[in-house]
Amino acid sequence: MSNSADKYNFGMIGLGTMGRNLLLNMADHGVAGAGYDKDASKGALLEEEGKNTKVKGFSDVKEFTASLTSPKAIMMLVPAGKIVDSVIEELLPYLDKGDILIDGGNSHFTDTNRRVEYLESKGFHFFGMGISGGEEGARRGPSMMPGGDKEAYNVMKPILESIAAKVEGAPCVTYIGPGAAGHFVKMVHNGIEYGLMQLLAETYEVMQRGLQLKNEEIHQVFIKWNEGRLQSFLMEVTRDIFGYIAPGSDHLLLDDIKDEAKSKGTGKWTSQVAMDLMAPIPTIDTAVSMRDLSKYKSLREKADQIYNQSSLALDVDKEAFLTELEQAFYFSMVLSYAQGLHLLSKASEEFGYDLKLDEIAKIWRGGCIIRSGFLNEIYNAFQKAPALPHLLLDEAVAALIKESLPGMRSVVSKSTAVGIAIPAYTASLSYFDAFKSGRMPSNLVQAQRDYFGAHTYELIGKEGVFHTQWVEKI
């Protein structure tokens, strides 16, 4: 790319699909954007796709930074990890105090905390921002979750609001909180996404192997569901996949895809942090585990030969069971959101994020991967009671859960009885049943811990901790 005397309001580092499309989105809203990528062909593609707007690609970092107005505002959209630190170090010689740097990738929140402190100590403004919506969202309007330097966010707010998805006129972006709050919320967003995707996969399994529906019949079910209370982006995605014929064939492309799911780590991070904060999210944990299990193809095939019966067919009335399956999916969808939001609540307390869960639900309603009609119920619940400790305690949500519970129990019991694997469904139901238990059998666990490890226990109605010598010492 050549030198230019023109100045640009915003800089983007990383001109892959997301970076290029975000810059083009900004250009559509009157923002002159410069993009930097060591691969000059990516800068050329940016200019080609944005030929009627003010965008320019650079492959030299000095020329790139010199093209920006002051104070400079630069977003990095590069893979998470050490490469982010490398890009920062490459940039620093060309930045002035007061310049703004944004990490728009899926960085781990602990890395973001470290970078906030490091860059602030050098006089730069920095915030981490989760971005959801994929390629189409970046180009037409994503959901964005910025957290960190609020002063810097306020400077960038007009641009971010202009490019964000809009729902009822409201932009799907808001300041999330200090430090790494934005990246933490995006991580949990991705965890919820894992849970919902696994539930859809298990729904497919039940319809295909249990009800023995043909692909077109399954397609029609997803079409119908997306027109009702299960409406969501992921339901739309699933519907469309069941309508896509492999080029040059008469069958679905889906049928040619290996049953081995990959991941980039954000689901795993969510599970790890949830365990650290003692905020149980078993639906999400199970989704992570099932992606891992899917990779053991040869082991699964050997076990299939040893253990599996010839048929997993359900002996049920199909239409009646599909009604129950719709209830079960709704129930489990609610549980996936509820677990993720409970984790956010715990993190807000632990890390001082002061998260506004109603505002988070509001910006998730458009542009993002987990957008759904149910987010309006979540928004209403936390608008009504900002300090609500758990979504399942909301009166309106409780009514929806009670309505869906019979179908949930039926689907889980009938499917597991014939050997259909629906671990995210069963995890959702077991979590719910334990959550509503006023008294759990954990007293036995504590007694066991005291028996072999002298870990002590507490007694009902008595202050203090106690230890018992459960058997005579030899």
Cα 231 from Cα 166, distance rounded (Å): 18
Query: Could you tell me if residue 3 is inside a domain?
Result: no
Cα 194 from Cα 291, distance rounded (Å): 9
Rg value, the chain, Cα: 25
Paired with 144 in beta bridges are 131, 173
Which CATH number belongs to the domain containing residue 445 in this structure? Answer: 1.20.5.320
Q: Is the pLDDT of residue 2 over 60?
A: no
Residue that terminates a domain, selected from 154, 179, 204: 179
Same domain, 248 and 129: no
Same domain, 322 and 403: yes
Cα 63 from Cα 68, distance rounded (Å): 9
User: Which of the four pLDDT bands, split at 50, 70 and 90, describes residue 263?
Assistant: confident
The CB-based long-range contact list for 240-249 (8 Å cut-off, 24+ gap) reads 242/215, 242/216, 242/218, 243/219
Structure-block tokens of residue 172? 């799907």
User: Which of the four pLDDT bands, split at 50, 70 and 90, describes residue 118?
Assistant: very high
Inter-residue contact 399 to 331 (CB < 8 Å): no
* CB count in 10 Å sphere of residue 430: 13
Chain centre distance of CA 116: 23
Q: Give pLDDT, residue 5.
A: 56
Cα 124 from Cα 89, distance rounded (Å): 13
SS3 80: coil
Cα 411 from Cα 285, distance rounded (Å): 21
Q: Is the pLDDT of residue 97 over 90?
A: yes
Q: Answer left, alpha or beta for residue 229, where phi above 0 means left and psi between -120 and 50 means alpha.
A: alpha
Burial of residue 405, with CB atoms counted within 10 A of its CB: 0-12 exposed, 13-18 middle, 19 or more buried:
middle
Domain that holds residue 15: 10-179
- Phi, psi of 192, deg, nearest 5: -60, -40
Q: Is the pLDDT of residue 253 over 50?
A: yes
Q: Is 349 marked active-site?
A: no
User: Which of the four pLDDT bands, split at 50, 70 and 90, describes residue 399?
Assistant: very high
Annotated binding site: 106, 132-134, 189-190, 194, 264, 291, 449, 455
Pairing status of strand 166-167 against strand 170-171: antiparallel
- The DSSP-derived string for 290-345 is HHHHHT-HHHHHHHHHHH--S-----S-HHHHHHHHHHHHHHHHHHHHHHHHHHHH
Q: Give pLDDT, residue 266.
A: 87
Lowest mean pLDDT among 151-165, 253-267, 349-363: 253-267
Pairing status of strand 10-13 against strand 73-76: parallel
Which CATH number belongs to the domain containing residue 228 in this structure? Answer: 1.10.1040.10
Segment 122-141, tens digit of pLDDT: 999 999 999 999 888 999 99
- Phi, psi of 106, deg, nearest 5: -95, 60
Q: Is the pLDDT of residue 408 over 60?
A: yes
Q: Which residue has the tokens 């795993």?
A: 268
User: Which of the four pLDDT bands, split at 50, 70 and 90, describes residue 103?
Assistant: very high
Q: Give pLDDT, residue 217.
A: 98
Inter-residue contact 269 to 108 (CB < 8 Å): yes
Q: Is the pLDDT of residue 3 over 70?
A: no
Q: Given the residues 42, 193, 268, 414, select the one marked as catalytic.
A: 193
Same domain, 193 and 88: no
Same domain, 66 and 113: yes
Same domain, 114 and 260: no
Inter-residue contact 129 to 144 (CB < 8 Å): yes
User: Which of the four pLDDT bands, split at 50, 70 and 90, describes residue 474?
Assistant: low
C-alpha distances in angstroms, 350 versus 207, 389, 391? 42, 14, 19
Query: Could you tell me if residue 109 is inside a domain?
Result: yes
Same domain, 17 and 133: yes
Query: Could you tell me if residue 414 is inside a domain?
Result: yes
**Sequence-distant (≥ 6) Cβ neighbours of residue 20 within 8 angstroms:** 12, 35, 42, 45, 46, 49
- Phi, psi of 372, deg, nearest 5: -160, 165
Full-model pTM:
0.94
Residue type, 379: Y
- Calculate the average pLDDT of the chain: 95
Q: Given the residues 186, 268, 362, 414, select the one marked as catalytic.
A: 186
Average pLDDT on 22-27 reads: 95
C-alpha torsion sign, points 394, 173, 355, 193 = positive
Query: Could you tell me if residue 286 is inside a domain?
Result: yes
Query: Could you tell me if residue 2 is inside a domain?
Result: no
Chain centre distance of CA 460: 40
Q: Give pLDDT, residue 265.
A: 82
Annotated binding site for substrate: 106, 132-134, 189-190, 194, 264, 291, 449, 455
Inter-residue contact 172 to 164 (CB < 8 Å): yes
Inter-residue contact 71 to 100 (CB < 8 Å): yes
Segment 204-234, tens digit of pLDDT: 999 999 999 999 999 999 999 999 999 999 9
Which CATH number belongs to the domain containing residue 20 in this structure? Answer: 3.40.50.720
Same domain, 430 and 454: no
| Residue 467 C-beta-side C-alpha neighbours within 13 Å | 8
Query: Could you tell me if residue 4 is inside a domain?
Result: no
Segment 383-396, tens digit of pLDDT: 999 999 999 999 99
Same domain, 257 and 377: yes
C-alpha distances in angstroms, 56 versus 2, 31, 135, 331, 346? 9, 12, 20, 48, 44
Average pLDDT on 37-46 reads: 94
Three-class HEC string of 174-199: CCCECCCHHHHHHHHHHHHHHHHHHH
Same domain, 174 and 196: no
Inter-residue contact 124 to 149 (CB < 8 Å): no
Segment 310-350, tens digit of pLDDT: 788 999 999 999 999 999 999 999 999 999 999 999 999 99
Query: Could you tell me if residue 387 is inside a domain?
Result: yes
Q: Is 186 marked active-site?
A: yes
- The DSSP-derived string for 437-457 is -SS-THHHHHHHHHHHH---B
Q: Is the pLDDT of residue 424 over 90?
A: yes
Cα 156 from Cα 22, distance rounded (Å): 14
Number of folded domains that form the chain: 3
Chain centre distance of CA 121: 31
Q: Is the pLDDT of residue 4 over 60?
A: no
